[in-house]
Amino acid sequence: MNRRQILGTLGLLGALLATSNPVFAERQITDMAGRRIEIPDKVEKVYAIGHCIPIVGAVAPQKLANNYHLSEAALRFLPPVFIENKVIPNTGNSLSDEEVMKMAPDLVVMEKIPGAQERADRLQERLKTPVLLVDLDMLQYKQAFTFLGELLQQPEQGRKLADFVATNMDPIAEKAKSIAQDQRVRVYYAEGPDGLSTNPAGNSHTQVLDFVGGINVAKVTNLPDEGMSSVSLEQLYIWQPDVILAWTPAADRLTTWKAIVENPLWQKVKAVKAGQVLQVPWIPFSWFDRPPSSNRILGTFWLAQTLYPQTFQFDMTTLTQEYFRLFYHKEISAAEVRYLLDLARPTAAASR
Amino acid sequence: MRFFGVILVLLLALVLLSFTVGRYPVPVETVLSILGAQFLPVTPDWPPETEAVVIGIRLPRILAALLVGGALSISGATYQGLFRNPMVSPGILGVSAGASVGAALAILLGYGMLGIQSFAFAFGLVAVTATWAIGATMGKRGDPILVMVLAGIIIGTLFTAFVSLVKFVADPYNTLPTITFWLMGSLASVELPDLAIAAIPVSLGLAVLLGMSWILNVLCFGDEEAKALGLETGRLRLVIILCATMVTAAAVAIAGIIGLVGLIVPHLARMLVGPDHRVLLPVSTIMGAGFLLAVDNLARSLFEVEVPLGIVTSIIGAPFFLYLLNRTRKAWT
């Protein structure tokens, strides 16, 4: 035990004493960055930072202490346990230290990204609350669910989620490897109000595309963090993607989707000509990206089947219902599944 | 007059050259045939994609660079003359800060490109109106120009704070990057309809400013002299500010924040043709148009990623400005 850990432990003990909590028992846990952290025996309240909200909510919605600002449409598709009594930041997506202190969580869960270890250590010192790192990489979901299940004392739920990933999602990557190179679909991820920003292959924001074996046409430098490299339409004439995915902010108004589909200049791009501009479904969280968390699991099924209907034939209704039951703790009807899937093709949905 | 001829020919050559620059390979002769086909009956022997690149993508972009570069430069030259200060740039009265607030708000509210541009333009005008109102009420006692510039600094700071506020409440994963990129300036998504709208305030303002350039010469001597000549300095100054603001706000609305152009180009022009505004204003306009076109050609062709134009103008502009500073220490007006 080094000095920092001793101090942290002492601080934690002090905090526990101060709240006159009779629980002294503690357990040790290793987080997904390999840090050994002492955590309270009973975990009732968890502050999930940013991208961790969906994944913590999937394991233990009753313990999730905070949430995003969610639209009306998103709220309709989440159960009360996922939305009631949650602290919602007044600005942006993060809470100040004092707001976190007021919330008094037993634990803080943070995404493991480069540089996160130091930030987690510092935050832990300041808040005197254990801060644990969880890996949100799609290839680590099984480990993440097992880890969170243990951490949040919901091992059964964690195992169920990990099993769902192992049974339904992981085989997609395996099967996708067998798709011949010349059969692969070339995809452009259109971000920004004009659709002229994007993220390249290998980026966390486009990992679903890599996962299902799509070719990301954007061969641009992988910028850190949000990325969103700006490209010109001329470059898209060269790339000529087969499919365009429109990102989800302002998706209810179809801002980006319309900027592409209704613009005569975009008609020279293969995907637009072929009517293959897809609006990524966004309810209750985006199915593809932002936040790049466990909400992307559902998008994996959707995108795999959309790009390769010959290779992947899922029963999307059952699968979506099961996903909502397990991850959002909500029963939805087949008609509601239809509604969610129809969001991807706004013209088809309008003419229905 | 011969000088005008020379720079206009140079600009025209640059425009033609710009049609051949870009990520999508188009041979020079195809570019020329496509351009010719717009006026002459030529049977197209090129793929429709090529024509879409040249006419649909490059033409609006080139026109936008000319319009924005010219607009920023003439308003820079105007303000430098009006305020008798070589450090003044088009943003001096808060127009850029105001436009940034408008654009950031529109992005926050999820509006498309037209919404972003209209908001930017409107808020640019709002900011300058505020500056002018402060200048007009408080400038009565004392130096009106000094008060106006100080008011501009304050309004600029205030609106910059509003931008930060919008960025602060914006969703950091989605909206914030979009706002940040808009603020860096780019011509990547400008289209002909946007240009047609922006061209109205720009050409209107440009025409009035060019027509009034002799008044700037008089105002440069100071209010006393101008009044002695029977000019109503207050009202004239208002008209000039109004026009320069309209021109800048329209430019910022379609292009975002593009730094240094409006500061450097008037200096370069002054170095070549001297301080007479009757010559300086048109020369600044033409040179600014050419300068921004050249820089935008780099921004859109160097890499597969578009480099934000504001970054390129500043990186190229800063050393260039120091070079000018070193050469012309004596030549400030």
Residue of B109, B175, B304, B307 to mutate, interface with A, max A Cβ within 10 Å:
B304
Task: State the nearest Cα–Cα gap between B8 and chain A, in angstroms.
Answer: 28
Give which of B162, B181, B189, B195 to mutate to test A binding, by max A Cβ within 10 Å.
B189
**pLDDT at res. A139:** 95
Asked if A290 lies within 8 A of B168 by C-beta distance, the reply is no
pLDDT tens by residue, B258-273: 989 999 999 999 989 9
Closest CB to A255 among B112, B171, B306: B112
Alpha-carbon gap, residue A56 to B82, rounded angstroms? 61
Q: Where are the domains of chain A?
A: 3-161, 179-351
Task: Pick the range with the lowest mean pLDDT from A47-51, A332-336, B140-144, B301-305.
Answer: B140-144
The correct CATH number of B2-327 out of 1.10.3470.10, 1.10.630.10, 2.60.40.420, 3.40.190.10 is: 1.10.3470.10
| Rounded Cα–Cα distance for residues B89 and B261 (Å) | 9
pLDDT digits (tens, 9 = 90+) for B49-104: 888 899 988 999 999 999 999 999 999 999 999 988 888 899 999 999 999 999 99
User: How far is the C-alpha of A185 from the C-alpha of A199, rounded, in Å?
Assistant: 17
CA distances from A333 to A71, A192, A276 (A): 20, 33, 27
- Contact: A247, B174; criterion CB under 8 Å: yes
pLDDT tens, N- to C-terminus, chain A (352 residues): 566 666 566 555 555 444 444 444 688 999 999 999 999 999 999 999 989 999 999 999 999 999 998 889 999 999 999 999 999 987 666 788 888 999 999 999 999 988 899 999 999 999 999 999 999 999 999 999 999 999 999 999 999 999 999 999 999 999 999 999 999 999 999 998 889 999 999 888 999 999 999 999 998 877 777 778 889 898 999 999 999 999 988 888 899 999 999 999 999 999 999 999 999 999 999 999 988 999 999 999 999 999 999 999 999 999 999 999 999 999 999 999 999 999 999 986 555 5
Q: Do B305 and A231 touch (CB under 8 A)?
A: yes
pLDDT tens for B25-50 read: 888 889 999 998 888 888 888 888 88
Number of residue pairs across A and B with CB atoms under 8 Å?
111
Residue A145 to chain B, least CA–CA distance (Å): 24
B170 or A37, greater pLDDT: A37
- Give the SS3 label for residue A36: strand
Chain A partners of B191 at a C-beta cutoff of 8 Å? Answer: 263, 265
Amino acid identity for residue A75 in this structure: L
CATH topology of domain A3-161: Rossmann fold (3.40.50)
pLDDT attached to residue A256: 94
Cα torsion angle, A222, A223, A228, A229, sign: negative
| B303 pLDDT higher than 90 | no
Residue of A nearest to B103 (CA): A193
Tell me the pLDDT band of B221, cut-offs 50, 70 and 90. confident
| DSSP conformation letters of A159-177 | HHHHHHIIIIIHHHHHHHH
The owner of tokens 């899937």 is: A341
Q: Which residues of A touch B176 (CB under 8 A)?
A: 92, 226
Is any Cβ of chain A less than 8 angstroms from the Cβ of B57?
yes
**Which region, left, alpha or beta, applies to residue B260 given φ > 0 means left and ψ of -120 to 50 means alpha?**
left
How close A227 comes to chain B (CA, Å)?
Answer: 8
Q: What is the pLDDT of residue A26?
A: 81
Name beta bridge partners: A189.
A245
Closest residue on chain A to B26 (Cα): A234
SS3 state at A214: coil
CATH 3.40.50.1980 fits A179-351, yes or no: yes
| Chain A residues 267-296 with CB within 8 Å of chain B | 268, 290-291
A89 at interface of B, judged by CB pairs closer than 8 A: no
Q: Which residues of B touch A255 (CB under 8 A)?
A: 110-112
Q: Indicate yes or no: CB of B168 within 8 angstroms of CB of A92.
A: yes
Write out residues 227-246 of A within 8 Å (CB-CB) of B: 228-235, 237-238
ipTM confidence score: 0.72
In angstroms, the CA A245 to CA A289 distance is 11
Distance of alpha carbon B331 from alpha carbon B324, whole angstroms: 10
Per-residue pLDDT at A22: 42
Distance CA B270, CA B328 (A): 10
How high is the pLDDT of residue A54?
Answer: 96
User: Cα–Cα distance between B276 and B89 in angstroms, integer?
Assistant: 18
Specify the pairing of strand A229-230 against strand A215-216: unpaired
d(CA A31, CA A250): 35
Cβ neighbours of residue A272 closer than 8 Å, sequence gap 6 or more: A244, A260, A261, A266
The more confident residue out of B137 and A47 is A47
Flag if B173 and A265 touch (Cβ within 8 Å).
Answer: no
**Do the Cβ atoms of A230 and B52 come within 8 Å?**
no
